[in-house]
Copies of this chain bind each other. A is one copy, B any other.
Amino acid sequence: MNRVPSDETMIERLKLAGLRPTRQRIALAALLFGECDKHVTAEALHEEALRNAIPVSLATVYNTLHQFTEAGLLRAVAIEGSRTYFDTNTSNHNHFYLEADGTLLDMHAAPAVSVPEPPPGMAISRVDVLVRLVRK
């Protein structure tokens, strides 16, 4: 009885990332990388896990999200406010942010940004573009 995607796929992925494929990590990876790109908060992923009968503690969800991020499987997205979003799409892209309901959307077409010279002695490490949306 195989889920799609199979646990084997996830185990492979974890091993490649240098992470021990534990019960919880496999299950969370299956939720995260199962289908299309997702944006989750720790809280949201925790709830999703519980709904799917994966008993895991919130602390482990936090740990796992950070480990996945360090391993390059996830990308942390900076939005104002306290809560952190994690994006399964780790490629260099930007986001629409729906202020009304706190939803993140991937921006597929790359925005063209030309940035001024950084101050002397400094180098650009990354450019984040966040487009805030409101309902029309």
Contacts and interface: CB of A to CB of B under 8 A. Distances in A.
Interface of A: 76-82, 84, 96, 98-99, 105, 107-119, 121-136
Q: Is the interface of A mostly helix, strand, loop or mixed?
A: strand
B109 A111 contact: no
A136 B125 CA distance: 10
A112 B82 CA distance: 29
B131 A127 contact: yes
Contacts of A84: 80
Contact of A129 (B109, B115, B119): B115
B128 A132 contact: yes
A70 to B, nearest CB: 15
